[in-house]
């Protein structure tokens, strides 16, 4: 089966999960081509064998590199000159002449073959490049992963109507889609999954700590407003005020960095909270191994992979009830779920866990077991294959 | 004394326009206001149109080609100091040389960092205004900015701080005492008409107003949660936010998520006259900011006789005494915000009392005459011997 995956950036530091499961798909024999708008730094772990083919769209902002790519593609088309022209006909009927010309240029390096399935990795890129699916000539699958869909659900009605198949990563998103008038019947619900062999509990268990710390909290997420950083920091400040000795490490970066840095200063948390910037998966795992509790005080979230990683490492989670997080963390079993935008509640839940090492351990074990059973990368691949086959049938 | 004041934009922000108008009452000072660029982004705090005495600096990033060529004439007049500079800098320097200022005043610290080479090249002193994020946020995130700020403040002959809190923060940030820093409060606009007595909550919901950019510094997400909490406490209210900014999506989402989207109006940028009318119509001014120098919008609302609920961000406690002329709550504490709003909603006499006290205080502490006198002293101080 020939599958095209269309994504924004590949490989992406911000979304390492794409890299993991594309490699898993290739290993299981799928003929996978990744089309992306930009190629990210290839600093991910893994072998050189099971790598998908990667094709980058041409880009008017980088005319030099793009022209070279277009030239190489044209050499290929010399043997089948009608194929690209045939494919690009879609643009001529669907777009204004100027837009059609620009898109024809962008898609020129991508037209040497057809596909059975065109899978858009996110709704945001699907709405930008929906006609690309028609050009490649396969069935169109769109993944809904939250993000912009959560904030502007009204922009995505066309996808809900016209795509051949929809993929939701959480029941929460499916409900949102239903609210926008999606009637059901052509979707799959496949939650994200992670490599539970890589994200495993610490080889050396944590030593016992004093009654009031030092405790380590950890979060790995982009520094954007959706993650509710200010509420998390407020909760940490409350705990510090109550006498807990806390070190809070934050991995990630983003446009809210000034707000986060200012909040750290205003709440008197300098020296306790450390902004580490982007970390490699190994470094994230190391941080998880050292953490007592994983905290995520998001206000808008579709599912969240980093919480899965923490659970797979056996770290109990305190998160909020935003979007799909309650599906991700089983409240009271693998972690505690607090009300969103309520720092008092978040602080109380963190305190619950810090005060009770036995409960932390139990939750860690339960979390690891649940992720292994339900969100393991090994089980994800057959689900995707089944979805592709169902669409093609 | 001829003073050249530099702001980011022409037309400048309203508080800068008021400052220039107040300073023009002194015949001893001749003020020219120079903007670095024309105002492109809509902003509620911008004055409506440029007026006489407001010039645009020949900044080559925004000029049309003929204007660029025309401005090069400054570069052709040969002076020894001009030859060592790039062409575009020579044109800028020529522009300022022609204005023949005795003193240059930068209205924002960021401007002083970028442009203090101009007064240095012209051999004249300069002064700086410290207002808010340029001192509270940028230096914390950006080490290069902090160094530049330190150099700029040490080289300045006088420093204007909008509040005591800003002065303390500045001294903390650059780790050095600033004896030449002086706190001069902003100007409240004059409101001739007296506000009528506040009414009890009848059928009409309580109208809350905020004027400001939709920016994380303004803490509007906390405001949304406070409104939701206020509703849960059984107060029917509407919150009107005047202004535009990068956080619109965040606030809209928060309003939808908290189920109060029908209570929150993000009306965007409106002209000053519209804002005055809205202040007259409103019941309470609500200011949930997390970072603030001293809010001009709050002072304007106080001048209009509106009771204010504000956070203790920055120098807000210098403008408001709690329970005398407004209510102060801790920053980021939406429960306290909702409690304070509820108290005011249920007590119209208190609203009237706070509003009247506020407008009396503002008339005294934030008067144009006091502001311009103190600024005049700041400018004069630059010429009385070396610091």
Q: What is the CATH number of the domain that holds A172?
A: 3.40.50.2000
When the pLDDT of each residue in chain B is averaged and rounded to a whole number, the result is: 88
> Quick check: is B14 in a domain?
yes
- Contacts B331 to A, Cβ<8 Å: 266
Split at pLDDT 50, 70, 90, the class of B93 is confident
pLDDT of residue B386 exceeding 70: no
Q: Would you say A209 and A277 are in contact if contact means Cβ atoms under 8 Å apart?
A: no
CA-closest candidate to residue B160, choices B384, B377, B383 = B377
Judge if A336 and A388 occupy the same domain. Answer: no
Say whether residue B143 is in contact with chain A using an 8 A CB cutoff: no
- Least CB–CB distance from A262: residue in B247, B291, B334: B291
What is the model's pLDDT at position B387? 43
Domain count, chain A: 2
Judge if A249 and A388 occupy the same domain. Answer: no
> Quick check: is A162 in a domain?
yes
pLDDT of residue A184 exceeding 90: no
The shortest C-alpha distance from B137 to chain A (Å) reads: 6
According to DSSP, the residues that pair with B55 across neighbouring strands are B34
When the pLDDT of each residue in chain A is averaged and rounded to a whole number, the result is: 89
- Quick: pLDDT tens for B220-272: 999 999 999 999 999 999 999 999 999 999 999 999 999 999 999 999 999 88
> Quick check: is A139 in a domain?
yes
pLDDT of residue A49 exceeding 70: no
What number of residues does chain A have?
393
Which structure tokens are listed for B165?
Answer: 């809190």
> Quick check: is A132 in a domain?
yes
Range among A184-193, A315-324, B67-76 rated most confident: A315-324
What is the model's pLDDT at position A240? 96
Domain count, chain B: 2
pLDDT of residue A245 exceeding 50: yes
Judge if A165 and A238 occupy the same domain. Answer: no
The whole-number average pLDDT for the span A230-239 is: 97
Judge if B375 and B355 occupy the same domain. Answer: no
The shortest C-alpha distance from A217 to chain B (Å) reads: 22
Judge if B171 and B32 occupy the same domain. Answer: yes
> Quick check: is A208 in a domain?
no
Say whether residue A343 is in contact with chain B using an 8 A CB cutoff: yes
Q: How distant, in Å, are the alpha carbons of B17, B19, B302 from that of B14?
A: 5, 9, 16
Residue B250 and residue A230: Cβ atoms within 8 Å? no
Judge if B18 and B49 occupy the same domain. Answer: yes
Residue A122: CB atoms within 10 A of its CB come to 21
What is the model's pLDDT at position B95? 86
> Quick check: is B97 in a domain?
no
The shortest C-alpha distance from B249 to chain A (Å) reads: 7
DSSP annotation of B4 reads: E
Percent of chain A predicted with pLDDT > 70: 96
> Quick check: is B74 in a domain?
no
Judge if A362 and A382 occupy the same domain. Answer: no
Judge if A31 and A146 occupy the same domain. Answer: yes
Task: Please give the Cα distance from B108 to B115 (Å, whole number).
Answer: 11
The shortest C-alpha distance from B37 to chain A (Å) reads: 25
Task: Please give the Cα distance from B110 to B380 (Å, whole number).
Answer: 24
What is the model's pLDDT at position B335? 96
What is the model's pLDDT at position A143? 93
Judge if A129 and A24 occupy the same domain. Answer: yes
∠ CA A236-A238-A244, rounded to 5°: 75
Task: Please give the Cα distance from B362 to B299 (Å, whole number).
Answer: 7
The shortest C-alpha distance from B74 to chain A (Å) reads: 35
CA-closest candidate to residue A233, choices A279, A266, A277 = A266
- Quick: pLDDT tens for A291-339: 999 999 999 998 988 999 999 999 999 999 999 999 999 999 999 999 9
Residue A262 and residue B136: Cβ atoms within 8 Å? yes
The whole-number average pLDDT for the span B299-305 is: 93
CA-closest candidate to residue B294, choices B308, B306, B280 = B308
What is the model's pLDDT at position A46? 54
DSSP annotation of A137 reads: T
A153 to chain B: closest CA residue? B253
pLDDT of residue B16 exceeding 60: yes
What is the model's pLDDT at position A346? 97
> Quick check: is A232 in a domain?
yes
> Quick check: is B134 in a domain?
yes
Split at pLDDT 50, 70, 90, the class of B324 is very high
Judge if B228 and B343 occupy the same domain. Answer: yes
Percent of chain B predicted with pLDDT > 90: 61
Say whether residue B172 is in contact with chain A using an 8 A CB cutoff: no
- Contacts A343 to B, Cβ<8 Å: 332
Residue A234 and residue B332: Cβ atoms within 8 Å? yes
Quickly tell me which residue has 């030099």 as its tokens: A64
What is the model's pLDDT at position A149? 87
Judge if A152 and A68 occupy the same domain. Answer: yes
Judge if A254 and A153 occupy the same domain. Answer: no
CA atoms within a 13 Å half-sphere pointing along the CA-CB vector of A196 = 20
Judge if A303 and A158 occupy the same domain. Answer: no
Task: Please give the Cα distance from B308 to B311 (Å, whole number).
Answer: 10
Judge if A256 and A299 occupy the same domain. Answer: yes
The shortest C-alpha distance from A226 to chain B (Å) reads: 8
Residue B173: CB atoms within 10 A of its CB come to 20
What CATH number did the domain enclosing B124 receive?
3.40.50.2000
How much is the pTM? 0.88
Judge if B238 and B361 occupy the same domain. Answer: yes
Q: Would you say A184 and A190 are in contact if contact means Cβ atoms under 8 Å apart?
A: no
According to DSSP, the residues that pair with A219 across neighbouring strands are A250
Judge if A167 and A266 occupy the same domain. Answer: no
Say whether residue A192 is in contact with chain B using an 8 A CB cutoff: no
Q: Would you say B139 and B169 are in contact if contact means Cβ atoms under 8 Å apart?
A: no
Judge if B340 and B225 occupy the same domain. Answer: yes
- Contacts A265 to B, Cβ<8 Å: 140
Judge if B156 and B42 occupy the same domain. Answer: yes
Q: Would you say A289 and A313 are in contact if contact means Cβ atoms under 8 Å apart?
A: yes
Q: How distant, in Å, are the alpha carbons of B75, B83, B101, B116 from that of B124?
A: 20, 19, 8, 10
What is the model's pLDDT at position B202? 63
- Quick: pLDDT tens for B340-380: 999 999 999 999 999 999 999 998 899 999 999 999 999 99
Which of B250, B292, B335 is best to mutate for the A interface (most A CBs within 10 A)?
A: B250
Judge if B265 and B354 occupy the same domain. Answer: yes
Return the number of CB contacts < 8 Å for A and B: 50
Judge if B137 and B260 occupy the same domain. Answer: no
Q: What are phi and psi of B302, to 5 degrees?
A: -65, -40
Task: Please give the Cα distance from B112 to B170 (Å, whole number).
Answer: 14
Which structure tokens are listed for B346?
Answer: 């249920």
Q: Would you say B80 and B43 are in contact if contact means Cβ atoms under 8 Å apart?
A: no
The whole-number average pLDDT for the span A206-234 is: 86
Q: Would you say A377 and A198 are in contact if contact means Cβ atoms under 8 Å apart?
A: no
pLDDT of residue B328 exceeding 90: yes
Which of residues A73 and B153 earns the better pLDDT score?
B153
Judge if B247 and B145 occupy the same domain. Answer: no
Percent of chain A predicted with pLDDT > 90: 52
Judge if B294 and B273 occupy the same domain. Answer: yes
The residues near A223 (Cβ < 8 Å, ≥ 6 apart) are A229, A250, A252, A253, A254, A255, A256, A257, A260, A275
- Contacts A340 to B, Cβ<8 Å: 257
pLDDT of residue B79 exceeding 70: no
> Quick check: is B352 in a domain?
yes
Task: Please give the Cα distance from B305 to B312 (Å, whole number).
Answer: 20
> Quick check: is B289 in a domain?
yes
Judge if A233 and A347 occupy the same domain. Answer: yes
Q: Which domain holds residue A246?
A: 215-374
Judge if B139 and B218 occupy the same domain. Answer: no
> Quick check: is A272 in a domain?
yes
DSSP annotation of A269 reads: -
Q: Which domain holds residue B212?
A: 206-365
B135 to chain A: closest CA residue? A262
- Quick: pLDDT tens for A105-161: 888 888 878 889 999 999 999 998 888 888 888 899 999 988 788 888 888 998 999
Quickly tell me which residue has 């043997």 as its tokens: A79
Say whether residue A257 is in contact with chain B using an 8 A CB cutoff: yes
> Quick check: is B386 in a domain?
no
> Quick check: is B194 in a domain?
no
> Quick check: is A84 in a domain?
yes
> Quick check: is A204 in a domain?
no
């Amino acid at each position: 089966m020939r599958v095209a995956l269309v994504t924004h950036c590949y490989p992406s530091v911000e979304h390492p999960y794409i890299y993991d499961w594309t490699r898993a798909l290739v290993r299981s024999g799928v003929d996978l081509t990744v089309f992306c708008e930009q190629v990210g730094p290839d600093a991910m772990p893994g072998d050189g064998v099971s790598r998908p083919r990667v094709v980058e769209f041409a880009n008017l902002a980088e005319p030099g590199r793009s022209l070279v790519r277009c030239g190489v593609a044209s050499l290929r088309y010399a043997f089948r000159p009608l194929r690209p022209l045939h494919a690009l006909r879609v643009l001529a009927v669907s777009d204004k002449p100027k837009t059609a010309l620009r898109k024809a240029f962008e898609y020129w390096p991508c037209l040497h073959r057809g596909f059975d399935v065109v899978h858009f990795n996110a709704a945001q890129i699907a709405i930008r490049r929906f006609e690309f699916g028609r050009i490649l000539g396969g069935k169109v699958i769109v993944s809904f992963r939250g993000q912009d869909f959560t904030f502007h659900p009204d922009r995505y009605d066309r996808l809900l109507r016209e795509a051949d198949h929809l993929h939701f990563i959480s029941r929460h998103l499916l409900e949102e889609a239903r609210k926008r008038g999606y009637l059901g019947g052509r979707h799959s619900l496949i939650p994200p999954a992670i490599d539970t062999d890589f994200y495993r509990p610490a080889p050396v268990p944590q030593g016992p700590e004093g009654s009031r710390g030092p405790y380590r909290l950890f979060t790995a997420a982009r520094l954007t407003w959706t993650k509710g950083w200010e509420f998390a920091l407020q909760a940490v400040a409350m705990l510090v005020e109550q006498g807990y000795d806390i070190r809070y490490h934050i991995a990630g970066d983003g446009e809210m960095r000034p707000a986060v840095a200012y909040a750290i200063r205003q709440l008197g948390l300098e020296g306790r909270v450390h902004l580490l910037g982007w970390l490699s998966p190994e470094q994230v795992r190391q941080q998880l191994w050292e953490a007592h509790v994983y905290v995520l005080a998001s206000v808008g979230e579709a599912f969240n992979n980093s919480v899965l990683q923490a659970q797979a490492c056996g770290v109990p989670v305190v998160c909020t009830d935003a979007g799909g997080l309650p599906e991700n963390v089983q409240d009271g079993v693998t972690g505690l779920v607090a009300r969103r935008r309520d720092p008092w509640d978040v602080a109380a839940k963190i305190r619950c866990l810090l005060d009770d090492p036995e409960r932390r351990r139990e939750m860690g074990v339960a979390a690891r077991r649940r992720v292994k059973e339900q969100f393991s990368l090994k089980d994800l691949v057959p689900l995707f294959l089944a979805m592709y086959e169902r669409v093609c049938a | 004394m001829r003073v050249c004041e530099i702001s980011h934009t022409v037309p400048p922000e309203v508080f800068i326009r008021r400052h220039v108008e107040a300073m023009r009452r002194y015949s001893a000072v001749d003020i020219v206001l120079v903007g670095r660029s024309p105002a492109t982004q809509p902003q509620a705090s911008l004055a409506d149109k440029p007026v006489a005495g407001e010039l645009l600096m020949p900044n080559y990033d925004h000029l049309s080609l003929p204007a660029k060529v025309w401005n090069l004439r400054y570069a052709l007049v040969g002076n020894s100091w001009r030859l060592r500079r790039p062409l575009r800098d020579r044109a800028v320097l020529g522009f300022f040389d022609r204005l023949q200022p005795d003193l240059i005043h930068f209205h924002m610290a960021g401007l002083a960092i970028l442009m203090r080479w101009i007064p240095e090249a012209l051999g004249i002193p300069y002064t700086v205004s410290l207002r808010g994020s340029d001192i509270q946020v940028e230096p914390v995130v950006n080490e290069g900015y902090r160094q530049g700020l330190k150099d700029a403040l040490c080289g300045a002959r006088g420093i204007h701080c909008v509040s005591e809190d800003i002065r303390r923060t500045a001294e903390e940030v650059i780790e050095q005492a600033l004896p030449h820093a002086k706190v001069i409060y902003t100007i409240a606009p004059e409101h001739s008409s007296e506000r009528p007595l506040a009414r009890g909550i009848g059928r009409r919901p309580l109208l809350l107003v905020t004027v400001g950019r939709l920016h994380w510094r303004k803490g509007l997400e906390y405001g949304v949660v406070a409104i939701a909490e206020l509703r849960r406490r059984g107060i029917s209210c509407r919150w009107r936010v005047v202004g535009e900014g990068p956080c619109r999506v965040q606030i809209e989402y928060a309003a939808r998520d908290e189920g109060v989207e029908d209570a929150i109006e993000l009306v965007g940028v409106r002209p000053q006259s519209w804002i005055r009318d809205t202040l007259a119509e409103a019941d309470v001014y609500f200011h949930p900011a997390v970072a603030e120098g001293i809010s001009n919008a709050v002072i304007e609302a106080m001048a209009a006789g509106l009771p204010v609920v504000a956070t203790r961000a920055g120098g807000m406690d210098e403008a408001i005494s709690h329970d005398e002329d407004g209510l102060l709550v801790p920053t980021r504490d939406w429960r306290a915000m909702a409690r304070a709003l509820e108290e005011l909603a249920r007590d119209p006499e208190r609203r009237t009392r706070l509003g009247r006290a506020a407008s009396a205080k503002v008339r005294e502490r934030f008067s144009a005459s006091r502001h311009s006198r103190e600024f005049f002293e700041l400018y004069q101080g630059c010429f009385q011997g070396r610091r």
